[in-house]
Amino acid sequence: MGHKSRWVFTILLCVLILSVINVRDIAYANPATKYQTKNVFLVVMDGVRYSETFGDPTHQFIPHIWNDLRPLGTIYTNFRNDFITVTVPGHTAMLTGVWQNIKNDGTERPHHPTVFEYYRKETGAPINKTWVVVQHMNLIRTDYSDHPDYGERYKARIDSPGLHKPGELEHAGDVATLDILEAVMRRDHPSLVMVNFGMTDSMGHSGSWSAYTNAIRDADMLIYYLWLKIQNDPVYKEKTTIFITNDHGRHLDGIKTGFQAHGDDCEGCRHVMMLVIGPDTEVNTVVDATRQLIDIAPTIGALMGFGTPLAKGNVMSEMLTESRQQQTRQMYITVIISTIIVLGGLTSAIIFLKRRKTKPV
């Protein structure tokens, strides 16, 4: 190789290295600032069929979720409970990232760590920064697991209208649940919250279609109100991701007792809705990839920067803006490398041709 060729090759190599280093530094700069999310609310509308939520072309029962909230985030059209389609196992799957056959009567704790335990153990957060507020009393043991490496010392605080004496609260059901949550938010500003709105499931079991659909409308309004509260609180605004989902669905019409019950593997019981809104989430986006309840826990961990080592689910990376940014950075790297290779080849060819022309005949 001639002197000029070596000189050109050296310059191109330096440009390539500097370009790749620059893009790499942008892509992997300070993991602590990878996501803007500092708080997560997991909001569960208990036991609602997909056919009454995203699967209904009129969206008549969820006008706020569909019209006001959906454009702000990412919806999943194939989100599923692929295990036991009842309340406690469903919530346990969301909180631990593991399918577990847990009794549905509130007597058994999860056997794998919850996101509250992971978060508190890794970050040292105090107990009042993690909260469980539930309408269903059978969820009263979801605040921590019986796992020997985690457990009670890393538990969340928990409350429910059912723990209060009659008359202490002005309202009943989901409104009372939201009353408790509002008080918790004002007092503690928790970073990690799970709230269960359970009247939808209770009214479904009542066998009254109108009571069931009215409960969905009520939950839709309460969830929208909760979102507005988050946006009007400077501690939470632009720093909070909210997951809105169901723990299970209900039987399809024509299967057993239809909407009145649930618990098998029919599509009505398995197919649930999922909407995620937050500073790190793609807006006005629809994802048709299959995801499951067990993917929620590792996704919460990724957003808040703590590990969920025993979870079996996967991070829902397709909804994250960071994922798209990473793809863009990779594209930049590919373009830089391809461009320099082409330029290097052209430069070498030009030098070679010039040398041939100057050769004596």
CA torsion, ordered 167, 173, 174, 178, to nearest 10 deg: 20
Position 32 scores a pLDDT of: 44
Which residue in the block uniquely carries the two structure tokens 């008080």? 183
Position 316 scores a pLDDT of: 98
Is the pLDDT reported for residue 328 higher than 50? no
Position 170 scores a pLDDT of: 58
Which residue in the block uniquely carries the two structure tokens 């909260």? 131
In order of 97, 158, 160, 273, 274, the CA distances from 81 in angstroms are 12, 24, 24, 10, 11
Q: What is the pLDDT of residues 23-72, one digit of tens each?
A: 444 444 444 458 999 999 999 999 999 999 999 999 999 999 999 999 99
In order of 134, 229, 306, the CA distances from 188 in angstroms are 17, 14, 21
**Residue 281 DSSP code:** B
Mean pLDDT of 231-237: 98
In order of 98, 193, 204, the CA distances from 263 in angstroms are 18, 26, 13
Position 212 scores a pLDDT of: 98
Q: What is the CA radius of gyration of the chain?
A: 26
Is 231 inside a domain boundary? Answer: yes
Residue 284: its H or E element: none
Is 335 inside a domain boundary? Answer: no
Is 305 inside a domain boundary? Answer: yes
Is the pLDDT reported for residue 19 higher than 60? no
pTM metric for this prediction: 0.83
* In contact, 60 and 111? CB cutoff 8 Å: no
Range of the structural domain that residue 210 is part of: 36-319
Q: What is the pLDDT of residues 120-175, one digit of tens each?
A: 999 999 999 999 999 999 999 999 999 999 999 999 999 999 998 766 665 678 99
Identify the weakest region by mean pLDDT among 8-12, 93-97, 289-293: 8-12
Q: Who contacts 159 (Cβ-Cβ below 8 Å, separation ≥6)?
A: 131, 132, 133, 134, 180, 184
Position 165 scores a pLDDT of: 74
Determine the Cα–Cα distance for residues 305 and 238; give it in Å rounded to an integer: 17
Position 26 scores a pLDDT of: 43
Is the pLDDT reported for residue 339 higher than 80? no
Determine the Cα–Cα distance for residues 308 and 127; give it in Å rounded to an integer: 18
Give the angle 291-295-300 at the CA atoms, nearest 5°: 130
* Tokens matching residue 39: 């708080």
Determine the Cα–Cα distance for residues 335 and 322; give it in Å rounded to an integer: 20
Position 322 scores a pLDDT of: 74
Is 357 inside a domain boundary? Answer: no
Please give the tally of structural domains in the chain: 1
Is the pLDDT reported for residue 230 higher than 50? yes
Determine the Cα–Cα distance for residues 196 and 155; give it in Å rounded to an integer: 17
Mean pLDDT of 310-322: 95
Q: Which residues pair with 291 in a beta bridge?
A: 79
Classified as helix, coil or strand, 149 is coil
Is the pLDDT reported for residue 361 higher than 50? no
Is 143 inside a domain boundary? Answer: yes
Is 158 inside a domain boundary? Answer: yes
Residue-averaged pLDDT of the chain? 88
Give the model's confidence band at 89: pLDDT under 50 very low, under 70 low, under 90 confident, else very high.
Answer: very high
Is 29 inside a domain boundary? Answer: no
CB atoms within 10 A of CB 327: 10
Closest CA to 55 of 80, 88, 72: 80
CATH number at residue 116: 3.40.720.10
Is the pLDDT reported for residue 13 higher than 50? yes
Instruction: Kindly give the interhelix angle for 87-96 and 296-304, rounded to the nearest 10 degrees.
Output: 30
Is 226 inside a domain boundary? Answer: yes
